[in-house]
Amino acid sequence: MTTLQTETASGSAASAFSSSDTAALERETELQAEEQVTFEQIWNETHRKVSSGWIRQNGFKRICLQFPDDYLPHSNAISVSLKELLAPEDVKVFIMADTTYGSCCVDEIAAAHVEADSVIHFGNACQSKASRLPVLYMYPELPLDVPRMMETLTASLQAECKDRAVCVYLDIGYHHLREQLGEESSLYKQLTEALQPKELILEVYPLAEEDADASKQHPKSASERICLFVGGDNQRFANLSLTAPALQWHIFDGASGTLSAKNPLTAQYIRRRYFYIEKCKDAQTLGLIVATLTAEGYLDVVARLQAMAKGRGIKTQLISVGRINPAKLANFLEIDCFVLIGCPFNNMYNSKEYYKPIVSVFEAEMALNPAWHMKYPEAYVTDFKELLPAGRSFLAYDEQAVPEHDVSLVSGRMRGAANASLETAGDPASLAVATQAKMALMTTNTGLTFEDRTWQGLDPALGQTEPAELQPGLSGIPINYSHQ
């Protein structure tokens, strides 16, 4: 409630003809919702053949089917169909829903509860490397009006793409066109004729992790290319456009057949992220939210963030609450900013319902590591492994380079590297003059630490009360207990 009152007060101070700068930064930009899919689009003859063949070839006996929330109405029918395909064999099929962190990640923890030996993952997937179980990814097959797309591209993009390097990405709903990715295919030829580029690259997104490592090595001329994403304006496009440098991004929505231009690095979405980076610098307590237990390197990232925060005198708290929501995080009043340690598809939250900012690992790195001072990256880093010593975006942390004092760009106040008292900065004479000035109480909205709270929860009073004697309870059914 304190945060809401502060925002209202700042808004009231603005002119009647304009809004405050903070309100402009806090204004939210929503992404489009995922397109609804039909049963035939997520479970057709190709899906049945691939999944049953994969199970038989590897001899799996206990298979988990993991579905996102919008696929759940079809989950039982798919499970029954798969059992019928594998009827002669002794195979157990389990349905997984309501995953711990995000539907894009393979929930190996839940699969271990039923001792599964494999997972078939449906829908959106970050394709982070699974360490415990083999995984088969199944994507929907959405229709695409190729002639209409070529007509639109010729009319709107040919002049811009002519004699330039062009990269076209196919979203998960159009991965079934992968057999047409060769240069001899009609799709490749039609794109070349429509855009007339100097060089055309056709890729599917997201790539498997082993293929993505090679794709991340962008050439020096990558920032001069034109990129086209065939799909919706969704979280996958947001992550791709942030990480892949380009002169201009375009989206062709296969569902509506419309073409639109996007430039994520100058959008309000990114300006708000830089605002949150400054809020992270101002924080006195950081909450490190662990939103993955399977992604490789997450423990190394936790240790690195703790070391950088300690160098700036910032406290850290390690938190694991499953899938986050505003109600859960509102319980941590003493935390000024949260850092979400998750997969590349699950590390950015922009909702205004959260009381405190939530930043990604990369944004926390920019805030806490002095090596990033006055350095603005060509593209965002959504995969935290790229920030570790073996990653291509790694910058060594030097605690000696942390400035002793600097000024917050949000509040305009002085902040110290170790939250040291500023009273020692002056000589005794200046301090004596300062004490004669008019004194006022200054309060800061940092919340109370757990030790300072007047109520810390129910007191268990261990060892102070005698245990109660066991008494016979009620027996029977609610309409006719034995004592009635």
Q: For position 123, which CATH number holds?
A: 3.40.50.11840
* CATH code where residue 384 lies: 3.40.50.11860
The three-state secondary structure class of 360 is: strand
Could you say which of 248, 266, 284 is where a domain stops?
A: 266
The string of pLDDT tens digits covering residues 265-301 is 666 777 788 889 999 999 999 999 998 877 788 899 9
257 plus 279 within the same structural domain: no
282 plus 332 within the same structural domain: yes
281 plus 410 within the same structural domain: yes
In a domain, 479, yes or no: no
Please calculate the CA angle 30-32-34 and round it to the nearest 5 degrees.
135
The 8-class DSSP code of residue 275 comes to H
Long-range contacts of 182-188 (CB under 8 A, 24+ apart): 187/146
Is residue 105 within 8 Å of 99, Cβ to Cβ?
Answer: yes
Count of the separate structural domains present in the chain: 3
Chain center to CA of 425: 41
226 plus 281 within the same structural domain: no
Please calculate the CA angle 29-30-32 and round it to the nearest 5 degrees.
145
Could you say which of 266, 295, 329 is where a domain stops?
A: 266
The 8-class DSSP code of residue 384 comes to G
CA distance 268 to 274: 10
Could you say which of 398, 416, 434 is where a domain stops?
A: 416
Phi/psi at 72 (nearest 5 deg)? Answer: -60, -35
In a domain, 385, yes or no: yes
Is residue 165 within 8 Å of 198, Cβ to Cβ?
Answer: yes
The three-state secondary structure class of 416 is: strand
| Distances from the Cα of 300 to the Cα of 290, 310, 384, angstroms | 12, 15, 10
DSSP H or E run through 48: helix 45-58
Overall residue count recorded for the chain in this entry = 484
pLDDT score recorded for residue 39:
94
262 plus 297 within the same structural domain: no
279 plus 356 within the same structural domain: yes
274 plus 262 within the same structural domain: no
Choose among 289, 319, 323, 321: nearest CA to 100. Answer: 323
* 460-482 CB burial, b ≥16 within 10 A, e <16: eeeeeeeeeeeeeeeeeeeeeee
164 plus 79 within the same structural domain: no
Within 10 angstroms of residue 359's Cβ, the number of other Cβ atoms is 24
282 plus 369 within the same structural domain: yes
Q: Can you give the pTM of this predicted structure?
A: 0.75
Is residue 64 within 8 Å of 287, Cβ to Cβ?
Answer: no
Its domain, for residue 223, covers 146-266
pLDDT score recorded for residue 439:
52
pLDDT score recorded for residue 206:
87
In a domain, 327, yes or no: yes
> Which residues have C-beta within 8 Å of that of residue 305, sequence separation ≥ 6?
286, 288, 316, 339, 341, 361, 364, 368
> Which residues have C-beta within 8 Å of that of residue 197, sequence separation ≥ 6?
161, 162, 163, 164, 165, 166, 226
Residue ranges of the chain whose pLDDT lies below 70: 1-35, 131, 179-185, 208-222, 265-267, 347-348, 350, 416-453, 456, 483-484
Q: Are strands 358-360 and 337-341 parallel, antiparallel or unpaired?
A: parallel
pLDDT score recorded for residue 140:
94
In a domain, 441, yes or no: no
Choose among 357, 321, 317: nearest CA to 337. Answer: 357
